[in-house]
Structure formats: C-alpha cells, structure tokens
Amino acid sequence: MGQCGADIIARMAALKSDGGCSPFTQKIVASMMKSGEVARHTHSVSLELKLHRDVMVKALHQHMPQVSFSVPKGGYYLWVQLPKGLHCDLFTAEAEASGVTIFSGRPYFAAADATNYIRLCFATCKPAEIEKGIAILGEVCTRLHNLAGAGQANSAEIGHFD
C-alpha cells in the first residue's frame, strides 16, 4: 500500500456530506493513510491473524483429528467438516452449552444436505483461548460421535472415538 496524495484527501473531504462521521476521526484516518501507518497496521494484523490461524490448525490436529478442513490463506474463519453422523446444529448447541461459541455451517450452504460443517473464528480470541476452545470442541465431538454411534444400528459405520 502506498501513501495517499493530497488530491485524494481533498476529494474525500469534499464528498463528506453524511454528517455522521466525526471530522476528527476523518483527520486521524487521513493522517494514517498519508504516513503509511495503515499499511504497517495491516501487515501487523495479518501476522497476528496468521498466528491465530496456525494455533487453531495445530489444536485441531491435536484435539480433533477426526475432522477435516483446509487451511485458509487469509480471512478470519476456518471451515471444519465434522465426522459423518454429526449434525452441525446439534454440535453448535453442545459447544455453546460447553462454553464455546461457534457457527453452524448449515445456513451458509444452499444444499440442504450440508449438515456437518462448522465455521470457527480465529480472529477475536487470544491463542491460549483458541487452544482451550478447540480442546473443549474435541471433547464435544468425541461425546456426540460416541452417542450417535451407540444409537446406530450399524455402529461399525460410525466407529468409536476414544
């Protein structure tokens, strides 16, 4: 990212007509853009998000080896496919009851049969919180999977996690 020229700042100021954004805040943002601070801050945030993502990936491998996922190259979320037989809405409710807030993936799919995906946010928690949360999700996953397996006529298809 480069620096903003005075002409861009002047045009931005001229377009200011909503009456809702503080001129003081505008001057702060303009100053950050001019100085290159926005680029430095963006780089810093990117490094922090990558650290958080990497902590989550490591914790998933350690505490939830039965799930599958792709490591995102950016963003704030990691999509996780739960094992066969686990419904994302039930998993999300059990995670919440266990103290971990996650997103059921079901509302994000057009296909009605995409019921075993969850969306995990790594952007807002500290690395230690991510580790603890994924450990709890691993316990939830094992508990629900084993309950589902016990209720299935063909439990060999689902298996048992220990």
Domain of residue 115: give its range.
47-158
The answer to whether residue 42 sits within a structural domain is: no
Using DSSP's 3-state secondary structure scheme, residue 102 falls into coil
Q: 77 and 103: one domain?
A: yes
74 and 19 fall within a common domain = no
d(Cα 6, Cα 114) in Å, to the nearest integer?
A: 50
pLDDT digits (tens, 9 = 90+) for 30-49: 999 899 998 999 999 999 99
Phi, psi angles (nearest 5°) of residue 161: -95, 140
Regarding whether 150 and 113 lie in a shared domain, the answer is yes
User: What is the bridge-based pairing of β-strands 103-104 and 77-81?
Assistant: unpaired
Q: What is the pLDDT of residues 73-83, one digit of tens each?
A: 999 999 999 99
Q: What is the mean pLDDT of residues 124-130?
A: 97
CA 147 vs CA 40, 68, 117, 154: distances in Å: 49, 20, 19, 13
Q: Is 115 helix (H, G, I), strand (E, B) or coil?
A: coil
Same domain assignment for residues 26 and 82: no
Residue 143 sits in the same domain as residue 70: yes
For residue 68 the two structure tokens come to 């599958």
Residues 20 and 54 in one domain: no
Say if residue 23 is in the same domain as residue 101: no
pTM of the model: 0.74
In a domain, 1, yes or no: no
Mean pLDDT value of segment 149-162: 45
* Number of domains forming the structure of the chain: 2
User: When comparing pLDDT for 4 and 91, which is higher?
Assistant: 91
Record the tokens describing residue 37, joined without a space: 């601070």
